[in-house]
Amino acid sequence: MSEKQIIRPKKPKTGDKNINSEKEKTSSSSQKDEIISSLYPPKTKSTPKIEQFKEEFKPFPDTKSDTYKKSSNKSKENIKIHQRKEQEEDLKGIKPTIFQPFPAITRSEAAISPEMPISIQNESIPSLDKTIDQLEIAKENPIEILEREFENLSTLEKNILEIAKTILKKKKYSSELEIERVETMSPLMEQLYSKCIARLTHTKGFSKESIFSCIKSLVDKKWIVTEQRRTRREILQATTLKNVLNFIHRHPGTHARDSQIEKELNITRNPFIKHAMVLEAFGLIRTKKIGRTQNYFLENVPDIFDDLVVLFINPLVTNILMILIKEKVGLSEIARRLGVYHGAIQYHIKNLIKMNLITKVGNNLNVNTELLTRYNDLFKVPPFGNVISL
């Protein structure tokens, strides 16, 4: 072997290779992170720490626990006490009122005014005279009143109604109503206006201004109703409409399910409602919802007795009053005579007391005969006057 020894490089072990590669990767990754951080600096230097709940989080209270029930009951009691105090403060100085559809009066006061006593006859009731007139008019037959109103119309009004009878039947024109000005008339009213001018200006000498004002007056008084495609004059010529109007006059407060409708008019419920809608559109009847039923009255009948009319449709109420007018008996005796459960009699007695038809003095039930007498002056059925006079 030579003196100079040949030194050969040692081969790196496999473990050393891995170490070097890892060092190279970490150095390269750190360089990348530095470059990225320099280009895009972080928004916050430190991340917020999220503290954990010390206790277990419960989104809803345990409704079954005793503590929850006690706290909820206390809160409800506090609310009730607070509401009661507020109601007591609101009601301070307010005296309770009793429902009285018509004040009771003496016969001397009735001789002066059949409407109300002297104590309340003042200027604050301007409709008193009108109501008295309505009470008298309401006794008349509605068909006779309607015929008399037609006879009182002027010659021009009658001629316009005759022309409107044919014009309103033309379905090609909309039933829209506009009559405030000549320039803004609806097509149907414009057709009626032009036809009246053609027939009445040259032959009968009426001016355009008088024709326009006359048409407007007939619309306001509901002699012309475009929605119904007819005039009020045609009601006098329709037998069924006249019969329905007379039926409501004989049975004020009637409703569509009344069994008398089919017996007397020979029509069912739906046709009756349709005819009643026509009469209401012309202002001849009015409807009023009392309880769950829609009741029908004549338009000229004052509404002071509407509730009583509907109440007396029930024959049980009438029989209770008839018995108490004749003699003073208790609830049990009334129930025995009528063959009705005691609770039903008690229910109706409470309603009659609220409506001032009965007053309770101790154990005695006294009937307000003054109010029933006044009711029979307008409505003959039920005939309480026959029992009161005995």
Domain boundary among 223, 258, 291: 223
Give the integer Cα–Cα distance in Å for 156 and 160: 6
What pLDDT is stored for residue 99 in this prediction?
A: 41
The whole-number pLDDT of residue 284 equals 93
**What pLDDT, on the 0 to 100 scale, is given for residue 304?**
79
Examine the domain organization and report whether 276 and 321 are in the same domain.
no
Would the pLDDT of 107 be above 50?
no
pLDDT tens profile 112-146: 333 333 333 333 333 445 556 666 667 788 999 99
Q: Which of 171, 199, 223 is the last residue of a domain?
A: 223
pLDDT given at position 37: 59
Q: What percent of the chain has pLDDT over 90?
A: 25
C-alpha closest to that of 318 among 309, 329, 328, 330: 309
Mean pLDDT comparison of 15-19, 194-198, 376-380, highest-scoring range:
194-198
Is 21's pLDDT higher than 70?
no
Position 333 in a domain: yes
Handedness of CA 310, 315, 320, 323 (dihedral sign): positive
Q: Is the pLDDT of residue 153 over 70?
A: yes
Q: Which of 301, 326, 341 is the last residue of a domain?
A: 301
pLDDT at 77: 73
The residue with greater pLDDT, 40 or 265, is: 265
Residue 63 lies in a domain: no
Picking from 228, 371, 227, the residue whose alpha carbon sits closest to that of residue 312 is 371
Please report whether residue 282 resides in a domain. Answer: yes
Same domain, 190 and 263: no
Whichever domain contains 359, its CATH number is 1.10.10.10
Q: For residue 285, which of 250, 245, 256, 322 has the smallest C-alpha distance?
A: 245
The number of distinct structural domains making up the chain is 3
Percent helix, strand and coil across the chain, each to the nearest 5? 55, 5, 35
Residue 248: which pLDDT band, with cuts at 50, 70 and 90? very high
Express each pLDDT in 278-328 by its tens digit. Answer: 999 999 999 988 878 899 999 888 787 888 888 888 889 999 999 999 888
Burial of 248 (0-12, 13-18, 19+ CB in 10 A): buried
Q: For residue 161, what are the domain limits?
A: 142-223
Q: What is the predicted pLDDT for the residue at 123? A: 36
Average pLDDT over residues 351-358: 90
pTM value > 0.85: no
Whether the Cβ atoms of residue 358 and residue 368 lie closer than 8 Å to each other: yes
- Residue 162 falls within a domain, yes or no? yes
